[in-house]
């Protein structure tokens, strides 16, 4: 697929975006980022396809084999004939795997295809302590982690917190770069008209995210109950689904909170909610296992929409939100401080409006999708050039051959 266009001009390079499962509804940021990279043609490669995030149908390549244990084992050692046939037809200039476990799965295939590998780390893959990677895919990731670090041309961390953790785990510092995922400012704060503060709902607190321990939604319910003592008109909208769904519904009923739970929403629906809410609350915190928020893209999206944010200072949230600019950061796990911050912004519209404007300016400056994706394109080109230079001088020798240890034979991916 990399021939010329009939006029002697080389077509734009094909980039293979790999996720073993394409793509959950919460991972739409992967395709939005890839589609915005100028000068490349992204194809989405995986083992299975979900009815989740929208993808361009003509650029989704999923092998027709059923994901049986034998098929997973074949893929894990780079010998999935159907997938390898797809790669030979596609001839990608680069493979970009998202999350460490998927990079571990793809490693032998990338090596056999002699294609440069870039890996993005989004949080749980490195922020979660090793002892909690108990699934087959997680254990494979732990065994191949050093090989991934060695073979990959570039390791992309979604925040400085993730970058520091990668280096702590042994990644070569010169290979690790912090690159924030971009926000589509044509949708958040651009495509929809955000209401000025005096036209927004008077006390509408919004949460968007998975209903999981790390997102701290339970703390939000407790803080909202406290804040209602001074702001009785407070209402809450919780967008998302997850393992704590039933528990959180029950607790909201016990607290007699006016909460609207929405299991899922499209990007445009979330943008519409952000355009009319009063503020966003994102109380992500460390879990009992030690997992922390890697970055918090929703914080950047809210600020781009002119929506002030209240959040715990945890993991990478301090990178997504500057305290006293786009909102307020409070000590992690301090529910009373969280309630106080909610009350402060709900009862001071002038301060809230100033933070909304300042946060919007900062988010558009730091996290604009077009700018961030252009930078990613430059990283791709540099990685392709480095790979070509090294192979021109060393032949076919490759570092980090994970198949040489034989571990793939005992740990097919989940």
The CATH architecture of the domain made up of 14-182+370-409 is: 3-Layer(aba) Sandwich (3.40)
Residue owning tokens 């087959």: 136
Cα gap 154→120, rounded to integer Å: 9
Contact 244, 171 (CB under 8 A): no
Q: What is the pLDDT of residue 402?
A: 39
Cα gap 268→383, rounded to integer Å: 34
Residue owning tokens 């809410």: 277
Q: What is the pLDDT of residues 56-107, one digit of tens each?
A: 999 999 876 666 777 778 888 999 888 999 899 999 999 999 999 999 999 9
Q: What is the pLDDT of residue 44?
A: 97
**Integer Rg of the chain from CA:** 22
Residues of each domain in the chain carrying CATH 3.40.50.2000: 14-182+370-409, 187-367
Q: What are the DSSP E strand ranges found in 68-203?
A: 94-98, 117-121, 154-157, 176-178
Cα gap 121→115, rounded to integer Å: 19
Q: What is the pLDDT of residue 69?
A: 76
Q: What is the pLDDT of residue 241?
A: 94
Q: What is the pLDDT of residue 412?
A: 37
Cα gap 247→304, rounded to integer Å: 31
Which two three-digit tokens encode residue 355?
A: 């933070």
Q: What is the pLDDT of residue 360?
A: 96
Alpha helices (H) in 277-348, listed in sequence order? 297-304, 317-320, 335-346
Q: What is the pLDDT of residue 65?
A: 61
**Which residues of the chain fall below pLDDT 70?**
1-9, 64-67, 190-201, 393-414
Domain over 187-367 is classified CATH 3.40.50.2000? yes
Which two three-digit tokens encode residue 42?
A: 């992204």
User: How many H-runs (helices) and E-runs (strands) does the chain carry?
Assistant: 15, 15
């Amino acid at each position: 697929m990399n021939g010329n266009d009939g006029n002697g001009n080389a077509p734009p390079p094909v980039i293979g975006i790999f996720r073993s499962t394409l793509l959950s509804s919460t991972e739409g940021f992967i395709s939005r980022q890839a589609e915005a990279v100028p000068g490349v043609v992204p194809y989405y490669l995986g083992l299975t396809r979900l009815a989740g995030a929208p993808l361009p149908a003509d650029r989704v390549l999923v092998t027709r084999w059923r994901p049986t244990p034998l098929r997973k084992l074949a893929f894990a050692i780079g010998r999935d004939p159907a997938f390898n046939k797809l790669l030979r037809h596609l001839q990608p200039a680069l493979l970009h795997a998202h999350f460490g476990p998927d990079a571990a799965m793809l490693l032998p295939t990338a090596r056999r295809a002699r294609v440069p590998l870039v890996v993005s780390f989004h949080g749980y893959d490195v922020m979660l302590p090793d002892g909690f990677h108990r699934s087959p895919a997680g254990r494979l990731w732990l065994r191949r982690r050093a090989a991934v670090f060695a073979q990959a041309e570039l390791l992309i961390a979604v925040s400085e917190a993730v970058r520091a953790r990668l280096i702590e785990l042994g990644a070569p510092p010169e290979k690790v770069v912090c690159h924030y995922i971009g926000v589509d400012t044509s949708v958040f704060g651009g495509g929809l008209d955000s209401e000025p503060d005096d036209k927004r709902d008077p006390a509408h607190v919004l949460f968007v995210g998975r209903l999981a321990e790390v997102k701290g939604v339970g703390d939000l319910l407790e803080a909202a109950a406290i804040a209602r003592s001074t702001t009785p008109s407070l209402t809450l909208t919780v967008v998302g689904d997850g393992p704590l769904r039933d528990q959180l519904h029950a607790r909201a009923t016990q607290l007699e909170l006016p909460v609207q739970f929405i299991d899922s929403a499209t990007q445009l629906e979330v943008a519409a909610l952000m355009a009319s809410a009063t503020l966003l609350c994102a109380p992500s915190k460390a879990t009992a296992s030690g997992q922390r928020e890697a970055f918090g893209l929703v914080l950047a999206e809210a600020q781009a929409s002119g929506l002030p944010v209240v959040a715990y200072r945890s993991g990478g949230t301090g990178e997504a939100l500057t305290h006293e600019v786009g909102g307020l950061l409070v000590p992690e796990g301090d529910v009373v401080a969280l309630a106080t911050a909610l009350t402060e912004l709900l009862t001071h519209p002038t301060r809230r409006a100033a933070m909304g404007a300042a946060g919007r300016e900062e988010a558009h400056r730091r996290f604009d999708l077009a700018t961030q994706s252009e930078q990613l394109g430059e990283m791709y080109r540099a990685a392709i050039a480095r790979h070509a230079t090294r192979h021109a001088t060393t032949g076919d020798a490759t570092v980090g051959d994970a198949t040489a240890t034989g571990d793939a034979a005992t740990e097919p991916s989940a």
